[in-house]
Structure 1
Amino acid sequence: MRPSKRDELVRESLKIFYRDGFHATGMDLLSAETGISKTTMFKHFRSKEELILATLRLRDENFRNWLFRRMEEAGPPRAQLLAMFDALKEWFDQPEFRSCMFIKAASEYPDPGHPIHAQAAEHKRLLFRQVEKLAADAGAPDPAALARALLLLKEGAIVTAHIGHEADPAGDAKSAAEILLSAVPA
C-alpha cells in the first residue's frame, strides 16, 4: 500500500530535522526537499511544531524498536544491558549519525513545559522504564539507580560520539557499564 502524503511528509521531515535541526529548518526547505507543497503540509499539520511532534513520535517508535530488538538478541538481561552499548556503536558508525534527536529537541526547546521538550523527555522516560525492568530482571538491588547510571553512560556516549573527540565512546561506556554490572549479584 502506498504511504499517505502525511506519512511521507513525516518520514522525510524526520530526516531533514535530524540532519539540520529544528529551528534551522524552515517550511520552505522542507517543501523543497520533500517535494510536498506548503499548502499540503499545512493541510496535514497546523504548524511546524505539530510536524516536529509527529517526527519525534516516529523517531521514538523507530529508535526504541530498533534498540530493544538489538538488546533482546543478546540473551539474558545482563547481556541485554551491555548490548545497548554495542547497538550504540552500530548507530555511531552510520554516516548519517547526527547525535540524539531528542537531546537536540530538548536543547532547541528548553522550556520543560513546551510540548516538543515534553515529547523528548517522554522518549527518555520510556528508555528508562525498559532499562530499569532489565536491571530488575538482572538482579540489581536498586534497579532504578542502575538504570539511571547506565543511561547516563548512554547519553554521555552519544554526546561524545557527536563531538567526535574519542575513538570509541560506545566501547568506553560499555567498559564502565561492565564495572557497574560487576557489583550486581549474579
Structure 2
Amino acid sequence: MRGITMDATDTTTPRRPSAARTRLIDSATRLFYEEGIHTVGVDRIIEEAAVTRATLYKQFGGKENLVLAYLRTEDELLRAMFAEAGAAVTDPTELVDAVIDGIAADIRLRHTRGCPFINAAAEYPDADGAVRQLIEEHREWFRSTLHAVAQGAGLVRPEEVAASLVLLRDAALVGGYLDGEERVGPAFERTARAVVASHSPDTSRRA
C-alpha cells in the first residue's frame, strides 16, 4: 500500500502457535466480543477451547494476557485488511473508496456488536493499564494509516480527513449495533464520501 507500512521490523519467520493456544484465542475472541470481557470467566474459555486450566496459564499466565492477545488479533486482522487493499488497488483515489467500502463491509458482516476496542475500553477504565495502552496504539496506527491514504490521494488537510473517518467509523460501529446496519451503513458511506469530496483539491479551490 503506497505510503502505508505494516511495522514489520522482525524479518524472521514467526513460529506457528500451538493448536491449544489458537483454540484459546479463537474462543476468547468470540466470547469476549459477543458477551463482554468481564462477564466471561476463564472456566468458560477453558471449556469452549477444550484445554486444561494449566494450559491456559502456561500459554498466557492469566486472563489479562488473553485479553491482550484477543485485541492484538483484532488489530492484526485490520492491518491485514489494509495490506490486502493496498496490494489490490494501485490508484490512490480508488484506495480511498476501497477503505470506505471495507469499513462499511466490516460494520455489516463482522463487527455487528460494536467496535471491540471501544467495548474493551469501556471495561478497562485505567488509561495507564496494558489493555488501554494497546487500544491507544491501535487507534494511533489506524488514524495514521487513514492519514497516509488521504495524503496519498492528494486530499487537502489529510489529518482532518483521517480524524473524520475515525469518528465516523466509531459512530457507525456503535450505531450499527444499536440501530441496525441497514440504517447506519448507508449513512456512514454517504457521510464518509462527503468528507472525502469536501477535501478534494478541486472542491477546496472553489471554496
Q: TM-score w.r.t. structure 2 length?
A: 0.80
1:118 correspondence with 2:133: yes
3-state DSSP of counterpart to 2:182: coil
- CA contact 1:86–1:171 (8 Å) conserved in 2: no
Q: Which amino acid aligns with 2:201?
A: P
- CA contact 1:86–1:170 (8 Å) conserved in 2: no
In the aligned structure 2, how far is the partner of 1:182 from the partner of 1:139?
11
- Identity rate, percent: 28
**Cα deviation, residue 97, structure 1:** 2.8
**Cα deviation, residue 50, structure 1:** 0.8
User: Which region of structure 1 is more displaced relative to structure 2, 44-53 or 170-179?
Assistant: 170-179
3-state DSSP of counterpart to 2:175: helix
| Alignment of structure 1 residues 94-105 onto 2, 5 Å | 94=109, 97-105=112-120
- Unpaired runs of 5+ residues, structure 1, are none
Give the total of aligned pairs.
Answer: 186
Selected match of 1:140 from 149, 155, 158: 155
| Alignment of structure 1 residues 66-105 onto 2, 5 Å | 66-70=81-85, 73-94=88-109, 97-105=112-120
Deviations 1:23-43 (A, max 9, x none): 011001101111111111011
In the aligned structure 2, how far is the partner of 1:67 from the partner of 1:117?
23
Q: Which amino acid aligns with 1:156?
A: A
- CA contact 2:107–2:181 (8 Å) conserved in 1: no
- Unpaired runs of 5+ residues, structure 2, are 1-14, 203-207
Q: TM-score w.r.t. structure 1 length?
A: 0.88
In the aligned structure 2, how far is the partner of 1:170 from the partner of 1:34?
33
1:155 correspondence with 2:170: yes
1:39 correspondence with 2:54: yes
